[in-house]
Structure 1
């Protein structure tokens, strides 16, 4: 944990004395318990509360008052009553209702809505095509687009964090595939099983939201973030590759030209998408605005290119995406499985009781996975780096997912959760251009006012504008200075376009080849994997120590850390290929005890700072408090103290 920050006046009076003391004080052998800086929010605030109590500034009510006025919202506020977190979310967000619409009148809203519509739409179309193949047409693109559009518009208008992108994700596609296999194994109706699973999932998620358990996602560090991100992304890649390989397996030896042409379409889309995405990182071609525009629309342009290529050889048959037959009637919706009613019968299907029991049992591991998936998405799109000014919200979003996952399956629609990487992408799309390359703002200093409360000096800088905190601890947004155009119109327009694309332009969707849908899955998955530190460390497994990047720290420790992450990933995928495949979320849950008990026994605190700390600690050794400078032999000379006084750094290079 970081040392308690003092006021500027105190720092000015004692800074030189402390500096000289650090230079003359010999190194001690005292060690502190390691805690990654980006996951120490709870512990840091508890330490500040403890300091106030020891100073005689409060009793039992001090903690409640501290969190009431603290703007480290979402994960560190403790209302202390059932559904208190949900009520607290809405109480804080209610102050921003008017600005949620007035901030929408700018060009960023239109550009963000169009970019995110294309990114979300392409992925949803690909997953809808994939699930139709895995469930033999029981559920497909119609259900995916309907659920994505309807649930998304409701959350954009009623949720506390409208910028969170929710949709049927790749893991949800995997879960529905396993539920279909289970329904055939126990001989129950697939839709009845999914509906009862939705009832169970909604019950567990409601309990989690009511008890404010989402705050515990702060316990997870980069070790868990990378494992989870790679696992989710690998699901997309595997689904896409299975589609490509399946066409070769299903075709006769004399008809190999069809799968070969489909493979060309897949490779063309992936290549064009990566090429256009890479334009963002080069500076010697095209103006910056053009490069960024092409990069933003990379997936859409690649899909259009692949679709055009599919018509290049009229003699070759190309399999295209199909949507449920609507008899060419405008604004008509039909389920993918012909003849089934929209409302799922819960009690009248064969073995309905068995379906209910099985649904409630499998709801437990599914809820575990949704806990990580939803809260990781919320955490990453509401991090301090995103410069949001209207607060962070977790419990209310989790409760809305419970509502959607109860109602949707009752109509044969898929589950939904927060989506990665689309949720952080929405925030970036709404970020003002002048803030794109802005350096990170300094952390807020917790200065105490006359009553022992946090004045939160510096928070307005981090929020991206000259914001103030009112008497209830809620930030008052300076609309003109906000770094991100936070509004409800952009996400609502994104989901409305997705719904309209199905209701009005279904014929256009059916021109997209299935091979292009597989390519979209491969591209999205690879892009997610390439963005992790686990991927960037893989080369150290086969690289000599002298040639390893200094960013990974000690090469031997980096290899052990990487192999442990790969072992957890392998365990999740091995379980997925067993009859207990629906229990794979339990492997994800093991990330918590592994991080808490296993990693500290295998790595030193200094090694964990480099390997498991935030990005800014890559390539440096960090001290763990002013009183332990140099503990364990890693302390730098005082001249290398970081300006601002918050910790010491040592560059390994």
Structure 2
């Protein structure tokens, strides 16, 4: 029977009954985001070096085990396929000024160097769509200004390095550290959706994916052969691709099963699932269906600069610009001639302008991916190094610019795959432990480099099998994205919702409203990313999610709601503990045991 109001006010001769605090009163300023204290004049760089490379380097370079080998092989497959795909895109878009050889070389040396001296070695380095889009813009700009592309590209790289140094020196990376799960999930879901869409069939950006070969005019079809059946090829591609994805999940499921003799065997099957699946379906394609001409990975014939010259001046491309010439005169030199501005002495200064946008891409692509990987829920213990790694990224891309190689940044989905592959999780998907190592990045990127010596072997890999790996990478990352899990709540019975802090304490309508906000911002970023004319600014649109979270969402949600939906694990646990304490104290006061409760609590 509830107490009377007079009993509550007077205590009815007992200890007074305490008022149960509201959720908003439990933690003052809950959900408020504050900026870290600035570490100006290089202090942030020094701190990053001391707490990461300076503290954990030896451990991260010596923790070799079976998982290291398995994850290295997985990451090689994960990295080499998009490296070659981006190489082909660069080759077409820049008229062979940058090609597959350049992307392989850049990915290999930067990955190995970063593995040795980088501050956050869980983050995989590679090519991305926004950087490719900007490089195309830069190439067209160089043509319109009548400046040699390699020269202009190198000077933009110099300015980009200067901006990276200034940003790191004055700790401007603290702005990207304002990002919360709201922004992280939107960016992660965007990149995951790109992987899934491109693996199945991209309707926006080209004729890539498992379903596109059903088009009889697809570029991979051999229409010159009368016996060639494009439907047969397309159907086999679908079987290979989806078969690869299913087999990976099947092998990985053995880790928690009762089959096989011991945990070591089950862990081995789980760790090498991707490798086993790729080998299995490659054998199926090359042995069982050897007469079906499924497209294979496109690989250069030999290691040399992609741009071949009609003359010694290397101003014209062979054979396009000199079709009557029997042989090429040379290939372009590896180092750009910084002085060759074609009489445009102002070109080095003019390069400072586009370098601003180039740096912004570098800053955001790296920063948001780093923030996503270093989120507290991932239980990464070896520290973060935003300033130091941004400086390294500027240095690496300066070298790439001087060599005519593509710029590289942290790549989101490979980073997530790398993190998840090195993590041990409980049955609810919470990360218990991460094997933080430099060896997996080192070994995988060394394999990328050595692949230059075995280009013919790479040609054996069927393209649908690699699309199946991409599909696995995207789908396997979805359960770790809270945005996706909350989106699924729209289609679930409320009484069957999975138990999480927000489903336990919040009204379902409020949860759905927050998800709708994320859907709206995701749609905005997704649309911009898929409109080629403005795709280069999509990281800027992603960055706008940060002020939206700090200034817009607090107008619609209380602070405690933002903690449960968007806070880190420590903030959420603090609120839950205070909620439990307030309820226990209130119930004790109802029983007249407040004094005893407080005494016991103080002890």
The two structures share one fold, judged by TM-score above 0.5: yes
Q: CA deviation at 1:261?
A: 1.6
Q: 1:370 to 1:35 in 2, by over 3 A?
A: farther
Matched, 1:299 2:295: no
Q: CA deviation at 1:145?
A: 1.7
The 8 Å contact of residues 148 and 166 in structure 1, kept in 2 or not, is answered as yes
Match of 2:301 in 1: 325
Where does 1:113-512 land on structure 2 (aligned, <5 Å)? 113-129=72-88, 131-132=90-91, 137-176=96-135, 179=138, 191-192=150-151, 194-240=153-199, 241-242=201-202, 243-244=208-209, 247=213, 248=215, 250-251=217-218, 257-258=229-230, 261-262=233-234, 264-277=236-249, 279-281=251-253, 283-284=256-257, 286-287=259-260, 288-311=263-286, 312-326=288-302, 332-335=303-306, 339-346=331-338, 348=340, 360-384=352-376, 390-423=382-415, 425-426=417-418, 437=426, 486=436, 488-502=438-452, 504-512=453-461
The 8 Å contact of residues 126 and 518 in structure 1, kept in 2 or not, is answered as no
The 8 Å contact of residues 231 and 569 in structure 1, kept in 2 or not, is answered as yes
The 8 Å contact of residues 270 and 302 in structure 1, kept in 2 or not, is answered as no
- Structure 1-normalised TM-score? 0.68
Q: Quick check: which has more Rg, 1 or 2? A: 2
Q: CA deviation at 1:397?
A: 1.1
Q: 1:130 to 1:114 in 2, by over 3 A?
A: same
The 8 Å contact of residues 138 and 336 in structure 1, kept in 2 or not, is answered as yes
Q: CA deviation at 1:222?
A: 1.0
Match of 2:516 in 1: 563
Q: 1:340 to 1:528 in 2, by over 3 A?
A: farther
The 8 Å contact of residues 124 and 144 in structure 1, kept in 2 or not, is answered as yes
The 8 Å contact of residues 60 and 437 in structure 2, kept in 1 or not, is answered as yes
Q: CA deviation at 1:99?
A: 2.7
Q: Deviations over 1:326-383 (max 9, x none)?
A: 2xxxxx4433666433223455366968976785444434433432332344344445
What secondary structure, in the 3-state scheme, does the structure 2 residue paired with 1:528 have?
helix
Segment of structure 1 superposing worse, 252-261 or 548-557: 252-261
The 8 Å contact of residues 162 and 487 in structure 1, kept in 2 or not, is answered as yes
Q: 1:608 to 1:95 in 2, by over 3 A?
A: closer
Q: Deviations over 1:568-623 (max 9, x none)?
A: 222223333152332222201111110011111122334323322346999x9x74
- 2: CA distance, partners of 1:401 / 1:202: 8
The 8 Å contact of residues 195 and 409 in structure 1, kept in 2 or not, is answered as yes
- Structure 2-normalised TM-score? 0.73
Q: CA deviation at 1:316?
A: 4.1
Q: Deviations over 1:192-226 (max 9, x none)?
A: 55444433432322221111122333321111011
- 2: CA distance, partners of 1:178 / 1:236: 23
Q: 1:603 to 1:365 in 2, by over 3 A?
A: farther
Q: CA deviation at 1:291?
A: 4.3
Q: 1:486 to 1:181 in 2, by over 3 A?
A: same
What secondary structure, in the 3-state scheme, does the structure 2 residue paired with 1:603 have?
coil
The 8 Å contact of residues 322 and 510 in structure 1, kept in 2 or not, is answered as yes
The 8 Å contact of residues 103 and 485 in structure 1, kept in 2 or not, is answered as no
Q: CA deviation at 1:408?
A: 0.6
- 2: CA distance, partners of 1:34 / 1:348: 58
What secondary structure, in the 3-state scheme, does the structure 1 residue paired with 2:299 have?
coil
What secondary structure, in the 3-state scheme, does the structure 1 residue paired with 2:517 have?
helix
- 2: CA distance, partners of 1:427 / 1:416: 19
Q: CA deviation at 1:411?
A: 1.8
- 2: CA distance, partners of 1:213 / 1:104: 33
